[in-house]
Amino acid sequence: MKKAIVLGAMLMGSSIWAQTVGGDRDAHGCIGSAGYTYSQIKKDCVRVFEQKIKLTEVEPKGSSTSMTAVIFSKDMKKAEIFIPDTDGESLILTRVGKGKIWKKDDYVLVPFKKGEYQLKKDNVVIYQ
């Protein structure tokens, strides 16, 4: 009888543990606690901090500095950015003309230095 109770408790405990680990998957199956977020351009879960193009907040609003990443579509017509102001959703900017400027609403992404970019909001640089 004691063995059955102990075994039952172990099974229940392992079942609860299995539900908790990875239990924070979003609608796309990305595990936020493991640093993953969904990329609309890649159509896959990505870690923003592992992306090639990273931008740092220019004027942090607190004691810590946030960062964002830029992911371009293969044809370079779209740029995806991940910033706190967008409620956890990435923002897709569209290239304007044939140049290297991507826009959406008040956000503009422009080349800064060789291989680097600036993200502006209302014509003020917020990340570079």
Task: Decide: 76 and 37 in contact? Cβ < 8 Å.
Answer: no
45-83 tens-digit pLDDT? 999 999 999 999 998 877 777 889 999 999 999 999 998
φ, ψ of residue 57 to 5 degrees: the values are -60, 135
CB proximity list for 103: less than 8 A, separation 6 or greater: 93, 94, 96, 109
12-45 tens-digit pLDDT? 444 444 445 557 888 889 998 999 999 999 999 9
Using the predicted structure, report yes or no on whether residue 102 has a pLDDT greater than 90. yes
